[in-house]
Structure 1
Amino acid sequence: MKFEHASENRLALLPVGVATRHLNQAVLSGAEPPAQVALLRAATVIADPSVRWNTAPVRELLDQAMARFASDRTDADPWLAPRLHATLRLTRSEASDKDLWAYLAMVVAPDYVTWRHLPVVGEDARRTPVVQASRFVGGSSVQAFARLWWAAEMCRNGADYRPVEAACGNQDFLNTALRLGIMDHRPTALAVLRVMENLAASDAPRMGDQLNALCKAIGIAGSTLMYEIIGPDELPDDAELLAWIDEADSAPPVAWDRLPDGPADGTAPTASVDTLTRLFEDINAHLGRLRDRGRTSVPLG
């Protein structure tokens, strides 16, 4: 029986435990690349022959992001997230495999991980800056590529990626709101985004603090309010999603200067998003009154 090693030209599955053992100081600082030969030997080949597992389109996408956003790395997030999602046409089950993201980070694009997440060196830098290991092998809310793919998956409205740009364009939303379990509910995610956009449009002071407080309050309230009942969603059209995934073999590369189209698997009901937006606006107004009174707790009942 012939043993097939993973190839740098195809995505594969790299056990997180193996990847972690290769995250030494030199790798985390960007001084050296991970040990490619050892990692390729440890990786498991994905048997599916579809072109969606080819690494070249992803690599080109990441090179373009680094070239475009060299002056402000955080600006790469809203540009990259929808395009990464539309390039890596995955089911949620496939995207939940941390070994896939470990391979992408360790073998395909470790340079992007360090470029995007390496701390800026201060004037008094007595320690070599390093990337957090979780950016290579962490969960879906922190791993360099998984967090962007899942942000796009949770915030797209069917084929429309415009909400993803708004979500990933705000680091407080990307780093705080998307970690909440309630954001798996599409109307909730879109309603929080709408409140965030309303705050931005009104030039709200200390918007990051307000958004973080709102997300915390919504998370607490969600334990009793049942947002799925208040703003019900419709089940996605799995057939449309799978058809979109199958089209990867014939789809052209994503465009650099316009948003791609996601899977037309259904949009969140407008009435549900509207209802939850009003509820979250009320919660935010309540928090504002508490702040005006100088209170720091968040009673909601």
Structure 2
Amino acid sequence: MKFEHATRDRLALLPVGVATRHLDQAVLSGSEPPAQVALLRAATVIADPSARWNTTPIRELTEQATTRFAGDRAAADAWLAPRLHATLRLTRSEAADKDLWAYLAMVVAPDYVLWRHLPTSGENSRRTPAVQASRFVGGTSVQAFARLWWAAEMCRDGADYAPVEAACAHQDFLNTALRLDIMDHRPTTLAVLRVVENLAAAGAPRLGDQVNALCKAIGIAGSTLMYEMIGPDELPDDAELLAWIDDADSAPPVPWDRLPDGPDDGSAPTSSVDALTHLFEDINQHLGRLRDRSRTLTSLG
């Protein structure tokens, strides 16, 4: 039900089907902006008057990100993800609505989507670079803003966003690991991330390939191993989460030079993360032995 016309000052719900119809080549290449008037008319206003639906803080974040990371667009993910999550305080049910993210990408900050995801044109390329439509209207693992919010939601350890920053610093983890269904289990996510960080700290060669292979192996093993039994989690404190969401009206803007605080709804048990880290390290060592054997056979051949 539409109570009033949507505006760029407040978040609203834009039907993905409508958004998709306005994603022509001109918009995807950045040569023309999305048709704002038509999109606003099609959007449904969110009746909740809470300040958490204000778009000004989000605009400030995206503008700051483009300034800070002008020379390294991918690095903006690690900075923006925890701050977007702490600014846009949502339940998981609310964050699962693609129409919300479509509005954010098409109406509030289409310039950021283009800045972050527009490919650079090669010198010999005859095709005009264009952003993939999924960056505007895709699923939670690819949509420009949803992917960051959900990365923060899945990787935070209660109020601590440090794991989020680490996760988003590794694009292979962000683009591969977080697509696995097993990552809904917090100790599993934090354990995989710990293994990836150890590999990076050790200067592992071809880190991206190793991360992808590790994630594939852990996903396959997860079909027979019960990670929830090996490293049990505790239920999050929903009351604390809802209180944190309600505090949006009085919360100050998120800090730019230090990590914000997330909802204090409980941390993953350390013993569970440790147990799963040990398991995943063993899996990674097994993969390493297989790689070494393959290289040996190749050299002998």
The normalised TM-score by structure 2 is 0.97
Q: For residue 271 of structure 1, report the CA deviation from its aligned partner.
A: 0.3
Determine whether 1:236 maps to 2:236.
yes
2: CA distance, partners of 1:37 / 1:148: 27
Residue deviations 1:92-136, cap 9 Å, x none?
000000000000000000000000000011111200000000000
Residue identity matched to 1:103: Y
Task: Describe the SS at the equivalent of 1:174.
Answer: helix
Alignment correspondent of 1:29? 29
Alignment correspondent of 1:167? 167
Q: For residue 170 of structure 1, report the CA deviation from its aligned partner.
A: 0.5
Q: For residue 150 of structure 1, report the CA deviation from its aligned partner.
A: 0.2
**Which runs of 5 or more structure 1 residues have no equivalent in the other structure?**
296-301
Q: For residue 3 of structure 1, report the CA deviation from its aligned partner.
A: 5.0
Alignment correspondent of 2:110? 110
1: CA distance, partners of 2:54 / 2:208: 38
1: CA distance, partners of 2:224 / 2:137: 33
Distance 1:68 1:227, change over 3 A: same
2: CA distance, partners of 1:128 / 1:176: 28
2: CA distance, partners of 1:78 / 1:204: 21
Task: Describe the SS at the equivalent of 1:292.
Answer: helix
**Which runs of 5 or more structure 2 residues have no equivalent in the other structure?**
296-301
Alignment correspondent of 1:5? 5
Determine whether 1:282 maps to 2:282.
yes
Residue identity matched to 2:289: R
**Contact 2:217–2:283 at 8 Å: present in 1 too?**
yes
Alignment correspondent of 1:213? 213
Residue identity matched to 1:205: P
Determine whether 1:124 maps to 2:124.
yes
Alignment correspondent of 2:137? 137
Alignment correspondent of 2:272? 272
Determine whether 1:91 maps to 2:91.
yes
Alignment correspondent of 1:299? none
**Contact 2:2–2:44 at 8 Å: present in 1 too?**
no
Alignment correspondent of 2:15? 15
Alignment correspondent of 1:154? 154
Distance 1:234 1:64, change over 3 A: same
The normalised TM-score by structure 1 is 0.97
* Percent of residue pairs identical: 85
2: CA distance, partners of 1:235 / 1:3: 37
**Contact 2:14–2:39 at 8 Å: present in 1 too?**
yes
Task: Describe the SS at the equivalent of 2:223.
Answer: helix
Residue identity matched to 1:169: A
Residue identity matched to 2:185: H
Runs of 4 or more, structure 1, over 6 Å off, are none
Q: For residue 201 of structure 1, report the CA deviation from its aligned partner.
A: 1.2
Task: Describe the SS at the equivalent of 1:196.
Answer: helix
**Contact 2:50–2:249 at 8 Å: present in 1 too?**
yes
Task: Describe the SS at the equivalent of 2:228.
Answer: helix
**Contact 2:3–2:45 at 8 Å: present in 1 too?**
no
1: CA distance, partners of 2:229 / 2:256: 39
Q: For residue 2 of structure 1, report the CA deviation from its aligned partner.
A: 8.9
1: CA distance, partners of 2:73 / 2:203: 24
Alignment correspondent of 1:194? 194
Q: For residue 51 of structure 1, report the CA deviation from its aligned partner.
A: 0.3
Residue identity matched to 1:175: N
Aligned length: 295
Determine whether 1:71 maps to 2:71.
yes
Residue identity matched to 1:108: V
2: CA distance, partners of 1:2 / 1:199: 51
Compute the RMSD of aligned alpha carbons.
1.1
1: CA distance, partners of 2:31 / 2:277: 47
